[in-house]
Structure 1
Amino acid sequence: MAQLRIENLHVAIEGKEILKGVNLVVNENEIHAIMGPNGNGKSTLLSAIMGHPRYEITEGSVFVDDINVLELEVDERSKLGLFLGMQYPQEVSGVTNSDFLKSALNARRDTPIGLFEFVKSMEGSIDRLKMKEDLAHRFLNEGFSGGEKKRNEILQMIMLEPRFAMLDEIDSGLDIDALALVARVLKEEQDKQKMGLIIVSHYERFFELIQPTHTHIMIDGRIVLSSDETLVRKIDREGYDWIEADIQKEKDPKRPTVLGTCAVREAIGDK
């Protein structure tokens, strides 16, 4: 069974520590939702795993099976089966979507993909995502709407068939119909490939469609609470204040415990 394992990961940006000891295990065929207030390290976690040069790993390890991916270059991480769907996909003028995807596929293969096989696969993926037929010949993300850019990230994921896909707010910019479409395609691909998914989002509606097997809350650079999909609904109803209050209570042992309150990991039982 394929496994992505994050151990005591500390990450800094320009000397400022952002991640402060993240531990997480994602097995194949699992869907992990990561939620939390803005600015608490969710996007940093995904970018650091993928090898973004802005992020300095100061401590910890990230393994795919028994291989420490932090020792690999970005392209080697991709070949190993990691994929990052970015929060803000970049526009690349002069490079068509088809050229980009064909190059990315060939970089992962021993022999180049045949033209007929590539065209058939790309056209089928474009059709599944209900994207415009001229997508293959358009420059990468240039002039795309926010929703088109996000669907293009899913198109790349379909074509590359990663073992573990990390999706950073892939639902932003999608209208209600596109949201349902992307969720359905993600589930189909996950079921077909037995792919492990890590999805960062703020929206209960998207997770309702995806149905994560695990849900984690990140606050102040740490995963402070983990549960199943019911945690998503609790956050949607009550926000994060109850978690942050319990964290503060643990940090301040002199603060009196109020009758009827409970520790963070027990509080989730009160749904």
Structure 2
Amino acid sequence: MLSIQNLHVAIGDTPILNGLTLDVPAGEVHAIMGPNGAGKSTLGYAVAGRPGYAATDGSVTWKGEDLLGLDPSERAAHGVFLSFQYPIEIPGVPALTFVRTALNAQKRARGEDEVSAPAFLKQVKAAAAALKMDFDMLKRPLNVGFSGGEKKRMEILQMALLEPSLLILDETDSGLDIDALRIVADGVNAMRSPDRAMLIITHYQRLLDYIKPDRVHVLVAGRIVASGGPEMAHQLEAEGYDQYLPAAA
């Protein structure tokens, strides 16, 4: 289970998260919604260990392991995966090479056998077909020249191959047309498992029509101010966040 208790995070001297508390049990999908600047992406970065997002108080544990005491690669080896809102381009590094290197690095860190090239190609071809990705695209430098939808599918492909146990999706619906949204959502839903937890960060309810969350949380001014069932996403879409602003003051 992901357990976040009284988490405070600052960027430089600027506090962003202000005592955020959240539990996501294994087997569940939770959504985080909130206005711009509320701290949604900061939450994902802090859990995954992005440099510059310093936790000044509180704790973050996954399956009882203190994540704040681990560097990003160690968190990844423990099963933490962050899908970026704006995936970066890495010129000169083929996507296939990048993913296989990441996969085998995690396996080494866990004391597992590395995946051979033939076995990896079999896995990646199956995953690409499920996401309706042209396999030749994976021979190109990672995300270079990819459309917004292709970049997001590439994130889901990595997720499918790495098989993380804690998935954090930061505005995965950003930049997707309706067809790409369905394909990406299908890829996410295929990862649902009793041993896996998901935290979906989004502005909009539309993604949650395809990825049905167990709980929806409202994040305002750096902390969770309300929680509810899936119907809360429709309420927020219709009414906005104004009613929750006084609770964050």
Q: 1:15 Cα deviation (Å)?
A: 0.6
Residues of 2 paired with 1:62 and 1:23: CA distance?
Answer: 9
Residues of 2 paired with 1:194 and 1:207: CA distance?
Answer: 21
Secondary structure, aligned partner of 2:113? coil
Q: 1:66 Cα deviation (Å)?
A: 1.7
Structure 1 segments of 4+ aligned residues over 4 angstroms from their partners: none
Please report the TM-score for the alignment, with normalisation by the length of structure 2.
0.95
Q: C-alpha root-mean-square deviation of aligned residues, in Å?
A: 1.2
Could you tell me which residue of structure 2 aligns to residue 199 of structure 1?
Answer: 200
- Aligned pairs for 1:208-223 (under 5 A) are 208-223=209-224
Could you tell me which residue of structure 1 aligns to residue 238 of structure 2?
Answer: 237
Unmatched runs of 5 consecutive residues or more in structure 2: none
Residues of 2 paired with 1:92 and 1:243: CA distance?
Answer: 40
- Aligned pairs for 1:246-257 (under 5 A) are 246-247=246-247
Q: 1:36 Cα deviation (Å)?
A: 0.3
Letter in structure 1 aligned against 2:45: S
Letter in structure 1 aligned against 2:244: I
Secondary structure, aligned partner of 1:57? strand
Residues of 2 paired with 1:12 and 1:34: CA distance?
Answer: 19
Could you tell me which residue of structure 2 aligns to residue 260 of structure 1?
Answer: none
Residues of 2 paired with 1:111 and 1:247: CA distance?
Answer: 50
Could you tell me which residue of structure 2 aligns to residue 85 of structure 1?
Answer: 83
Q: 1:182 Cα deviation (Å)?
A: 1.2
Secondary structure, aligned partner of 1:210? coil
Residues of 1 paired with 2:132 and 2:27: CA distance?
Answer: 25
Residues of 2 paired with 1:215 and 1:195: CA distance?
Answer: 17
Residues of 2 paired with 1:212 and 1:98: CA distance?
Answer: 31
Letter in structure 2 aligned against 1:210: I
Residues of 2 paired with 1:129 and 1:93: CA distance?
Answer: 23
Residues of 2 paired with 1:189 and 1:67: CA distance?
Answer: 22
Residues of 2 paired with 1:247 and 1:97: CA distance?
Answer: 45
Residues of 1 paired with 2:213 and 2:225: CA distance?
Answer: 18
Q: 1:147 aligns with which of 141, 146, 149?
A: 149
Secondary structure, aligned partner of 2:218? strand
Letter in structure 1 aligned against 2:192: Q
Letter in structure 1 aligned against 2:49: G
Residues of 2 paired with 1:142 and 1:236: CA distance?
Answer: 34
* Bigger relative contact order, structure 1 or 2 (CA pairs below 8 A, ≥6 apart): 2
Letter in structure 2 aligned against 1:66: G
Could you tell me which residue of structure 1 aligns to residue 134 of structure 2?
Answer: 132
Residues of 1 paired with 2:47 and 2:161: CA distance?
Answer: 21
| Kept in 1: contact 2:152–2:184 (CA 8 A) | no
Unmatched runs of 5 consecutive residues or more in structure 1: 252-271
Please report the TM-score for the alignment, with normalisation by the length of structure 1.
0.88
Residues of 2 paired with 1:151 and 1:125: CA distance?
Answer: 10
Q: Which has the larger radius of gyration?
A: 1
Could you tell me which residue of structure 2 aligns to residue 8 of structure 1?
Answer: 6
Could you tell me which residue of structure 2 aligns to residue 172 of structure 1?
Answer: 174
> How many residues are paired up?
245
